Amino acid sequence: MFGLFKKSIKIYAPMTGDAVDISSTADPVFAGKMVGDGVTIRPIDGTVLSPVDGEITQLFDTGHALGFKVGDVEILLHIGIDTVELKGEGFTKLAKVGDNVKVGDPLIKVDLEILKSNNKALDTPVIITSDAGKSIEKSLGSVEAGKTVIMELK
């Protein structure tokens, strides 16, 4: 009976592209799940949408990473690999810390060509950094930003 009150949390693709398991990420820290488990998006479009209904708890000055809180679950979205080295070049922030966002709200515009021209991998990990004891079901393959569920926490 008490299980009726436990809600699953759906996490949607923040970018359009291909979703692969976190273990396939171009960075060994993410691939080794040292930050947490999740899914990596290999984007084909530079629009970053909110993957959840929640609060933005972190937004790096460079625009390359965001943190979210949904209930007692924390999620990290890291756009590209080693993109912090670009010092914000190619990133336009559309949101700020403290914003309550809904799935599909625009958060960041990324110029993927700037990342490519600076030899940065486009891999974009979406990581559950605190799962509150929930199990993670992943959906991999072709994804559309704001429309395709890539993970469900149960």
Q: How far apart are the first and last CA of the chain?
A: 16
Separation of alpha carbons 136 and 149, rounded Å: 12
Provide the 10 A C-beta neighbour count for residue 27: 18
Known catalytic residue: 64?
A: no
Q: Which of 112, 29, 118 is nearest to 76 (CA)?
A: 29
Distance CA 150, CA 29 (A): 21
Catalytic residue among 78, 90, 122, 126: 78
Between the CA atoms of 76, 79, 82 and 87, what dihedral angle is there, to the nearest 10 degrees?
Answer: -100
Query: Residue 49's beta-bridge partner residues?
Result: 106
Catalytic residue IDs: 78
